[in-house]
Copies of this chain bind each other. A is one copy, B any other.
């Protein structure tokens, strides 16, 4: 699938939309202008001047001018990709024609912005034939403006059942001689409009979780070599909820997410990167509690669990309302089942290097061990977790490292912050490890 693609990134963590023209301001392009000057963790991987929903219909003509002006002036230094969103609707040819005219104008080389624009975002697409209409407009625009064929990428917002279904067809449709769908880049979920199209409701007006939509978008992206991005998280102050949503998304293979503010951009740029150091979790009652690291010991100081020594090799472990009398082996087993280890960047690199060395020495599988001293109610106990690594484990574990390498390669403006986060040594080792498969 990769031939013909006009983008190099393997990952997009952040998809940040800005209104293109705000009424009642001295400078209607103020928000565009400030977004264009974001750098480092505050700058998104994909910046989306939004001439659709974020901008009032009456301001969209001015929005096109503002995109042209601001991107011409600031585009050169912007560290992420730039993908303006134009208007589009599967059910409305007049909206589609407006979208065509907006793209034609923004892409006009005489206006000076097109050198810095990587592609366009098409909202409200329908089935695959509707995607082809947008693709055809881009082909015409490239031709009219003397741009290389497929030099403009196309990202779509999935906000209807028919668009969700279209993600099934990408593998068989991309590459047909009668279209240029190779230009596809991001598949983005748009849950507000999807909810409307599906006529779904919840008692409190919150968005439904739509786990199947997210799975299908992620799978469609994976099958067609594209990148999946989840929709906006409305409650801007709820950083914890935003992080939780991203953790869920990554378990579905969806690394990217929409960001509505530079604060959300920072959170979402950092969230998929592994933590600097590993940590131990204790799972009690469906809650996961991170243990305090005190001089290498991992200490639990909560109330959900208590441990008491009866004599030499007898312990009483109380978990919630249940009480178990155990010897030290049984206790160790019980605690192993209750604990989990979250790998840090350093651990992942270590494990990968260890496996690479083993492979060079002709071994197909080796055991990786994580050990610590657990301390509960003053009682200390060594525990260690083994995990068998084979080629498949190695390659699956590589995903966060590949992400890190991709970020490091494409975002020099974040090098300083990455070094602060991890230390120069870890960064260097993380860039050296692994291989393309």
Contacts and interface: CB of A to CB of B under 8 A. Distances in A.
B204 A341 contact: yes
A393 B341 CA distance: 41
A364 interface: yes
Contact of A197 (B171, B222, B251, B362): B222
A387 interface: yes
A252 B198 CA distance: 8
Residues of A in contact with B, size category: 35 or more
A193 B362 contact: no
A337 B222 CA distance: 36
B57 A364 contact: yes
Nearest to A56: B364
Contact of A205 (B57, B196, B205, B397): B397
B201 A250 contact: yes
Interface in A56-98: 56-59
A161 B53 contact: no
Contact of A58 (B206, B247, B362): B362
Interface in A242-297: 247, 250-253, 255, 272, 281
Interface in A185-216: 192-193, 195-206, 208-209, 211-213, 215-216
A398 B193 CA distance: 12
A390 interface: yes
B203 A247 contact: yes
B253 A222 contact: no
Given A215-B212, A343-B205, A200 B160 contact: no
Nearest to A59: B364
Interface string A383-402: 00001101111011111101
A53 B219 contact: no
A38 interface: no
A23 interface: yes
Interface stretch (A137-145, A162-170, A324-332, A419-427): A162-170
Contacts of A247: 202-203
A234 to B, nearest CB: 7
A321 interface: yes
Interface in A2-60: 23, 53-59
Contact of A392 (B193, B341, B387, B388): B193
Nearest to A57: B364
Contact of A165 (B160, B171, B388): B171
A222 B203 contact: no
A303 B281 contact: no
Nearest to A196: B396
Contacts of A432: none
A212 B254 CA distance: 14
A8 to B, nearest CB: 16
Contacts of A203: 247, 342
Given A197-B222, A200-B250, A209-B251, 5 more contacts: A161-B222, A162-B171, A162-B223, A198-B218, A203-B247
Interface of A: 23, 53-59, 127, 160-162, 164-165, 168, 171-172, 192-193, 195-206, 208-209, 211-213, 215-216, 218-223, 234, 238, 247, 250-253, 255, 272, 281, 303, 321, 337, 340-343, 362-364, 387-388, 390-393, 395-400, 402
Q: Which 4 A-B pairs have the closest CB atoms?
A: A198-B253, A56-B364, A161-B223, A161-B222
